[in-house]
Structure 1
Amino acid sequence: MTSTPPPPVSEPDPSTFTCPSSLVGPCSGCQRRTHKYGTGGMPLCQWCLAPVQQNWGSTVRFTSSRP
C-alpha cells in the first residue's frame, strides 16, 4: 500500500478548519498547526498520529494528566 507524503509543515492539519482558533496549537511531533486539547482534540496532527495508531491500534487517544 502506497501512501501519499504529508504536505509541508507550513500547511495546517485539516482539523483546524473545523475548530475554534483558541483550540489550535502546534503538533507535538512536527509543530504543524492542529486541533489541540479541545473536545476530541489530539496533540498530534493526523500524519504524526498515523504511525502511533499502527503501533497501538485505532483506539489510541490522548488522556489528560491533569486532575
Structure 2
Amino acid sequence: MSRYTPIRLFRRRVSALLLGILLFPLVVWVPRWHRRCYSYLHRLWLKTSDEPVWLTRNRHLEDRGL
C-alpha cells in the first residue's frame, strides 16, 4: 500500500472542493444527481492511498473490532 504524499493529498482535496462548488448548481437543479455527485466527492476526499477506499475503511473497522 502506497500512501499519498501530503502535497498530492492537498491537491486531491482542493480539487474535490472546487468540483463540489462547480457541481452545486447542477445538484440543486437535478435532485437525483446529488447522491451520485456527493458520493464521488466523498470518495475523492477520503482517498489517502493507492488502495480502494472501501478496503481502507474495512481494515479500519476491523482494527476497531466492528
> Which TM-score bucket, shorter chain as reference?
under 0.3
More helix by share: 2
Larger radius of gyration: 2
| Bigger proportion of residues as strand | 1
TM-score, length of structure 1 as denominator length:
0.26
Q: For CA contacts below 8 A with separation 6 or more, give which structure has more relative contact order.
A: 2
